[in-house]
Amino acid sequence: MEIGNLMFSKITGIFFTFALLTNVASAGMTITGTRIIFPSDEREVTVRTNNRGASPSLVQVWVDDGKVGGDINKVNTPFVVTPPVYRVEPGKGQSVRLVYNGMSLPQDRESVFWFNMLEVPPVDKKAKNADVLELAFRTRIKIFYRPSSLKSSSINDLDKLTWQQVNTNKGRGIKVSNPTPYYVSFESASIEAGNRKYALETEMVEPFGSKTFSVSGNQSVSTAINSIDINILNDYGATVNQKLVAQGGGFIHRNAIKG
């Protein structure tokens, strides 16, 4: 890992090195998929990275616990990635092995970590003496460690989420409670109140936890919330839409209303 640590240090050093904005590189590396599901009964999974750009790229990959800005040399995670540093030619790809190291993790719920990919595009030889903006591009996706005791897909438990109107510093908001062993990730969510629609600021809700969502921006809501429209991400990164309406102090699915 010494090579990887040294490379990370050098990459970080040039992350925002610039003189004049006369030549800006663009990211070419991509990760197949938007999330990684790691079953506990597997020893390793493969993550595919691809160079969609027109130039070779130098890449470093690692796993962390989600704390942005932390020292990757001090992060204790249950996964090892190999190779940690590699070069990818344009139009080619590289498979990365994500190996479980046996660290003890909860078996009654999912655990979440982050897979990181840092890409350094090459410097154009024609512009090596020119003023350029040098950028390193970092991509992060979640790793969900899923114990074998959790047999179903997380999307099957969405009906167990409960929703409640609460007061926030922006007026009325929504508290969502997650009684399931799965993390719940939102692509978007909105509410309707007083014949107006408001976007909500959302974040991932941990297993057996809860979060309160308030309206985004400088808006505020003073009237009762009539309905909620949510888009939740499933195991494949696709969205699952749910619409709920206010009833009896809480919210129920629109299709559950008896006509």
DSSP bridge pairs for 242? 230
Q: Where are the domains of the chain?
A: 29-146, 158-256
Instruction: Report residues of the chain scoring pLDDT below 70.
Output: 1-27, 68-70, 124-134, 255-259
251 to each of 32, 40, 161, 167, 228, how far by Cα in Å?
Answer: 36, 35, 10, 16, 8
pTM for the predicted model, two decimal places = 0.83
Q: Say what the pLDDT of residue 156 is.
A: 75
Q: Is the dihedral of CA 157, 162, 167, 170 positive or negative?
A: positive
Q: Say what the pLDDT of residue 136 is.
A: 82
The CATH superfamily label for domain 158-256 reads: Immunoglobulins (2.60.40.10)
**CA–CA separation, 224 and 229 (whole Å):** 15
Which fold does the domain 29-146 belong to in CATH?
Immunoglobulin-like (2.60.40)
Query: Could you tell me the two tokens for 21?
Result: 């904005």
Q: Are strands 137-146 and 35-39 parallel, antiparallel or unpaired?
A: parallel
Question: What is the DSSP secondary-structure string of 221-242?
Answer: B-S-EEEEEEEEE-TTS-EEEE
Q: Say what the pLDDT of residue 19 is.
A: 26
**CA–CA separation, 132 and 129 (whole Å):** 9
Bond into 147 cis (ω within 30): no
Q: Do the domains spanning 29-146 and 158-256 agree at the CATH topology level?
A: yes
Q: Say what the pLDDT of residue 135 is.
A: 72
